[in-house]
Structure 1
Amino acid sequence: MFKKVKVFIILTILLNFTGCAKESVQTSKLILTPDIGKAVLLGRVLDPEEKPLISVPLHLAEVYHDNYNPEKGAYVLDIAFSPATITDKNGFFAFINIKPGQYVLVVGDVEVNNYVIVAEKDGKAKVWNVPVDQTIDIGLLKVPYNK
């Protein structure tokens, strides 16, 4: 009788380990953690026909506000130093370990003057606030960009 109980316990343990060994399924949702003092901005860009923008350069232009009138400001894109990335085959992108701040997203190749500034419905540039030590997912953006 004791031998049967021992075999039952061993089989139960083996079945539990087998159940725990399931293959993990990776989703398309990125989970990124920035370094201390930095931030992550991620999302996905599609064209107006909802096709992913593939291998498209993206840049973040930093927003600077007027000290005397905080509602006014400008955004600056420095090709040499502004954060940049490229979309993947599904249009996903991530700017990893960027300086916290406010940014405007520039889609396309600024060096050959083929780019789009992501805008609000009123036509003004869309500004994203990227706080320190946070990952901000800006979601799905439809951008009228032609490669």
Structure 2
Amino acid sequence: MESALAVVTVVVVGLLVGVEFAVAVFVNPIVDGLPHNGGLAARSTGARLLGRVMPFWYIGSVLLGVVWAAVGWGEGGAGLVASAAGLLVLSVVMSVALLVPINSRAAHWTPEDAPADWREQLGRWDRLHFVRVAVIVTAFVLLVVALV
């Protein structure tokens, strides 16, 4: 049971890391290069889509990490799993406090009605997102080390 929980947790968090890393390193830079503010429309669509999915994915990752830490408490690697769960909680707090407010605004922007500082706001989101990616990558590494 614990082995299955560990594998599911690593897979779920690993997929989360993969999506968030891809957004940071590939997707946003590509769409930002589209002509005629096409990146703004793409990012707005992405904000709406991922804004509906990611809360469940992040909370699910936290819950899986907490359950794995609780089930394995007292065994080798439980401290790593608990630390990873703590980092995942930090990523949720960062998301809610720092990234979601920007994302919620960006989800409704169009090239015609975006605020004058939309590039700066998305740049701030990108910088904060890179920090969040570093946090969840660290959590993922801790989970993988605990698994092996």
TM-score where L is the length of structure 2: 0.25
TM-score calculated relative to the size of structure 1: 0.25
Bigger Rg, structure 1 or 2: 1
Q: Relative contact order (C-alpha < 8 Å, sep 6+): which is higher?
A: 2
More helix by share: 2
Structure with the larger strand share: 1
